[in-house]
Structure 1
């Protein structure tokens, strides 16, 4: 696996996902606040949920990146890169809305405590945090730390895969927001 290509692919995916999320902040109030008939969240609540989930994932990504950089001193990065393969299919279901049961923790549920401009600013900062971690671990160091991800039984995933997961999670909710908007029409 070419780790440099993987990092570039994750950067592209992040840009596409975050650009799509960004567009939703400019929707009219009726679209942002429409409660779907299935009892789900409004677009504004979904945007807050994306921020909250990113917040908690970025805590794990920060810890993982620090550990990966420490591990760089003691582990053979070249050996890790030689044996690494990215199982894209395993992750792609994460980006599909409704592809599997997803029970999120209560602390990731929107509470309505932030206004739209605050959420927008925070999500933008989170995007740049992800890019900074990818730049920090630009030589493959992100392979040197794995953390368990229970969602969809992904198991032990490395720091790059955590960042990709974060991007897929946003993509998943873009689909949900589109479904809300379609229902209004």
Structure 2
């Protein structure tokens, strides 16, 4: 396994996803606050949800990165990297809006208490946090700690996969925001 390419691929996915999310903050108020006909969230609510989900995922990623770094003192990193296999199909479905039923916890639902500027700033900080963890675990240490992820039955996933999951989750909602926006254009 080429760990440097693996990490670079995650960084690239993060950059493309976070850049696209950031672009949504530049939309006009009418687009951001349009209530879709299906009764779903507005784009502004979706952006807040992305922030909230990132917030809670980053708590797990931070704990995981610390444990992975601690484990790197005692575990065989080469063996872990050699035996690693990536379940690309299950992960890629995470990024597809509507690909499977997703029941989110209540604490990840938008409350509408933050301005778009606040949310944008926080999401930018979250992107930088992800890059920081990838830098800290630049030699493959992220393989040395796993946490259970129940979404789409992913099971035990390593710290790198958690970061990738965070990026895929945002990607999933980009599709949702595009659907909302297309509805505002029709009206």
Q: Same fold (TM over 0.5)?
A: yes
**How well do the aligned residues superpose, as a CA RMSD in angstroms?**
0.6
* Worse-matched range after superposition: 86-95 or 59-68: 86-95
**What residue in structure 2 maps to residue 176 of structure 1?**
176
**What residue in structure 2 maps to residue 141 of structure 1?**
141
Name the SS of the counterpart of 2:35 in structure 1: coil
Alignment partners' CA distance in 1, 2:99 and 2:87? 17
Alignment partners' CA distance in 1, 2:40 and 2:34? 10
**What residue in structure 2 maps to residue 165 of structure 1?**
165
- Residues 112-162 of structure 1 deviation map (CA, whole Å, 9 limit, x = unaligned): 111110000000000000000000000000000000000000000000000
Shift of 1:5: 1.3
Structure 2: tracts of 5 or more residues without a match: none
Equivalences, count:
185
Alignment partners' CA distance in 2, 1:138 and 1:107? 32
Name the SS of the counterpart of 1:97 in structure 2: coil
- Which residues in structure 2 correspond to 1:2-17 (within 5 Å)? 2-17=2-17
Alignment partners' CA distance in 1, 2:91 and 2:16? 17
Shift of 1:169: 0.3
Shift of 1:31: 0.2
Query: If the length of structure 1 is used for normalisation, what is the TM-score?
Result: 0.99
**What residue in structure 1 maps to residue 51 of structure 2?**
51
